[in-house]
Amino acid sequence: MNISCLCNAVQIRISAEPIAQFWCHCADCQSVHGAAYVAESIYPATGVEIVSGETTRFALKRTPRISCARCSTRLLVELPEIEMRAVNGYLLKDLFKPALHIHCSEAAAPVKDGLPHFATKPAAFGGDDRMVDW
């Protein structure tokens, strides 16, 4: 599957199935996006490739993010410590099917949608499986 930034200057090829799709409520994401939470789709790093276009890279605190150099659309997050990449779920349109929320202990406001709401992360992703009760 191929996706692009909002101005179509950067093309990305995704050749793997997502490991997880979720809403992230961490303070880093809130600050970078100016939003209460963001859509993320995690893939093996080898399954996500920028095939064309100029990008920029930055990290607010700890998480390296890649954006389009022309329109500034946030494209993906580098997660080298676990050999994964998180693709901006909004770029996936109808293919984004979130199964959970993470970092809800940092949430700007409760979201009641029937999905699991983890205080940090599930144990499978290095968290403690602790939930928030909304």
What is the reported pLDDT for 2? 97
pTM: 0.92
Based on its alpha-carbon atoms, the radius of gyration of the chain, rounded to whole angstroms, reads 14
Is there a domain that residue 131 lies in? Answer: no
pLDDT in tens, 1-47: 999 999 999 999 999 999 999 999 999 899 988 999 999 999 999 99
What is the reported pLDDT for 33? 87
What is the reported pLDDT for 44? 97
What is the reported pLDDT for 122? 95
Mean pLDDT of 70-98: 95
Q: Output the domain CATH number for residue 73.
A: 2.170.150.70
What's the domain count of the chain? 1
Identify whether the C-beta of residue 3 lies closer than 8 Å to the C-beta of residue 79: no
Give the lowest-confidence range in 2-11, 44-53, 54-63, 111-120. Answer: 54-63
What is the reported pLDDT for 59? 86
Is there a domain that residue 133 lies in? Answer: no
Is there a domain that residue 132 lies in? Answer: no
Nearest C-alpha neighbor of 37 from the set 45, 48, 26, 46: 26
**DSSP H or E run through 7:** none
The single residue listed with the structure tokens 């999905």 is: 115
What is the reported pLDDT for 14? 98
Identify whether the C-beta of residue 38 lies closer than 8 Å to the C-beta of residue 89: yes
Domain range for 94 = 2-125
Is there a domain that residue 134 lies in? Answer: no
Nearest C-alpha neighbor of 126 from the set 84, 74, 68: 84
User: Given phi > 0 = left and psi -120 to 50 = alpha, else beta, which region is 53?
Assistant: left
Is there a domain that residue 130 lies in? Answer: no
**More reliable by pLDDT, 124 or 6:** 6
Nearest C-alpha neighbor of 89 from the set 81, 104, 100, 105: 100
